[in-house]
Structure 1
Amino acid sequence: MFHLRIPSKRLIGMFGLVLLLSLAAYGFAAANTVPVSSAGDGQNTISGYTVSSVTYTLNSTTPSTIDSVSFTITPAAGGNAPANVKAKLVSSSSTWTSCTNTSGTTWSCAPSGGVSASSADELRVVAAQ
């Protein structure tokens, strides 16, 4: 013969409380909003910014040395212009050069002492608001 156990009122009450707390937590998490921003890092297309119009300036006395690089940074739709931009030209290097906004969306980076053109194997740009 089978006996059916009916849960106690205490167990049903605890289950109801857990359910209520779960729904409240879900509601608070769903209410979080994050403002639109632009940020990115990588060697391929990044959704936060588009880097274009890249120009390298060679040293006038030693043209095998890159004195600076300039480029245009365009934020994705709805994104803000970057406030901090850094770049590096040698993939194996851990040295990042701070860039300066020269006008509008144009930025310029001048690595200290320049970079040998033969060792420059990438242009990696990190931009943030």
Structure 2
Amino acid sequence: MADKYIDGLKTHCNGQLLLDSGRHTRFLGLQVCIHSTKCLFNSLVVQNNLLSFLPKYKISQDNLELFFCSIRLHGGYNNNPTVRQFMSAYKQLLVHVELCENFRGNCIPLEENSILKCDVVDNLI
């Protein structure tokens, strides 16, 4: 239904279909995402009964993008860190996660999904 709606969207200025215009990439990406989610739902929930519902937030790339954003922020204006800069930023993030894990304020996490895991911090510092 949503993909059919996107198929019918037209540009404001000349009435050309968005999927035929020069700005089609984001709408095509949205259609691919919708189609992929439908296929995952049919495969995991409807056909094989592996899940009772499809938790869309679990297949989101937001956590990974936030992690890479944190790595890039440690480099200042350089968004393409060297190996040494990456290791330094990674170590700083590990220490920050270890120190701030108990101080969440009024936020309660839904699940423990940690990208940064460290068993022994002493070896890193």
TM-score normalised according to structure 1 size? 0.21
Task: Choose between structure 1 and 2: higher strand proportion.
Answer: 1
Q: Which one scores higher on RCO, CA 8 angstroms, separation ≥ 6?
A: 1
Structure number, greater radius of gyration: 1
Task: Choose between structure 1 and 2: higher helix proportion.
Answer: 2
TM-score normalised according to structure 2 size? 0.21
